[in-house]
Amino acid sequence: MSTEATFSRGLEGVIAAESALTYIDGQKGILAYLGIPIEELAEHSTFEETAFLLLHKRLPTRPELQKFTEDLASHRPLPAPIVELLKALPQQAPPMALLRTTISALGHFDPTADDVSLGTLHQKAVQLISQLATLTAAIGRLRRAQEIIPPDPTLPHSANFLYMLTGKRPSAEAARVFDVLLILQADHEFPASTFASLVVASTLSDVYSAISAALGALKGPLHGGASEQVIRMILEIGDPAKAEPYIKERLARRERIMGFGHRVYKTYDPRARILKEYVQKLALQAGDTRLVEIEQIVEKVVIDALGAKGIFPNVDFYSGTVCYYLGIEPELLTPIFAISRITGWMAHILEYLEDNRLFRPTTRYIGPPLRHYIPIDQR
C-alpha cells in the first residue's frame, strides 16, 4: 500500500541530504564548519585555510596550506578569450548576470570539463575559487570603464582581490576584514544556491553547469541581493536623526526591513555579531561613523518591534556596510558573496558525489480527476 509523500512548500524543514560540513543551531545562534565555531575561524583562520577545511573536511598542515595557497594563486589568470568576452558584454548588465555567463564560458576552455571524478573536481574547485574572484574584480573594473588589473601571485586571496578591484594594495587591516567576510560567508548548509548546484551535479553534469545554476539562484533578490538592498536603505536614510522615523514608518506599512530575519536563525545571526564589531572599527578608521550610527538605531527599532518574533539582524545587515567602507560599490555585493560561497558550493558537490543519488522529488497533484478527451467540435 502506497502512502502519500509529505508536502512542505519551499521544502522547508525537509532533509534533502546528509552533510558533515556545516552545523547550525538557529535557536542558539551557533554556526560551525566541521565542528569548529565560526567565531574561532574568524579570529584565528584565513580564507585559504577555511577553504581547505571545507574542501578536505580537515584543517591543513603548514606545508599543505602553503601548497593550497600557491595553487590558488597560480589559477588566478583568466584565459584571454574569456577576458575578451567579458569586454564584449554590456558592461551595465547586472554583475551577477555577467558572472554567470563567464563562469559558464570557462567550461569551454577546460578539456576535462565533463570529468566528474572526485580528484579532478578537487582541482576544479581550486581553479573556480581563484577565477571567480578574478572575474568579479574584472567586472567591477569594466563597470567603471577602467583597465582590468592582472592578479598579483604574491598577495593572499583577499588582498589580491581588493588589489585587482581598486588598483591599490590594501592595508593589512582592510585585507583582514575582507578575509573575515569571506570566511563567514563560505558555507551555510542548504540555501537555494547550494541546493541548485547539487541538483545539477547529481545528474553528473559538468561542474561549470552546476556553479552556473548556483549563481543563477544567488542572483535572485530573495537570496543573494539582500546586502545590496540594506546598504542602499542605510544610504537613503542618510542621517541618524532620520533612522527611527524611517523604520517605524516602514514597519507601520508592514514592509519588510532587509537584513533582518532568517529562515534558520531565530536569534542574532552569529555572523552579523562578528561583522558588527568589524564595521565599527572600519568606521572609526575612516573617521565617519554616520552609517554605523544609522545601523545601530535601525537595529534597535527593529528588535524592539520584532525581536519577540525571532527577528534579528542577519549577515546581510552588516556585510554591505563592511564592503562600503572598503570602497566596494553596492552592485558588487552579491558577486562578492559568490566569491566566498563558491567554496561551500564546491565542498557540497564533492561531498554529495561521494555517494550520489539523482535528485528527483515528486509533486502533489491538485488537478482535475481522470476524464475523457473531448473532440474539438464538441467543446
Q: Which residues are catalytic?
A: 223, 262, 316
DSSP conformational letter for 291: H
Asked if 174 and 155 count as a contact pair (C-beta separation under 8 A), the reply is: no
How many angstroms separate the CA atoms of 60 and 309, rounded? 41
Residues 6+ apart with CB under 8 A from 154: 73
How many angstroms separate the CA atoms of 72 and 182, rounded? 15
How many angstroms separate the CA atoms of 340 and 227, rounded? 14
Asked if 223 and 192 count as a contact pair (C-beta separation under 8 A), the reply is: yes
DSSP 36-94: EEHHHHHHH--HHHHHHHHHHSSPPPHHHHHHHHHHHHHT-SPPHHHHHHHHHS-TTS-
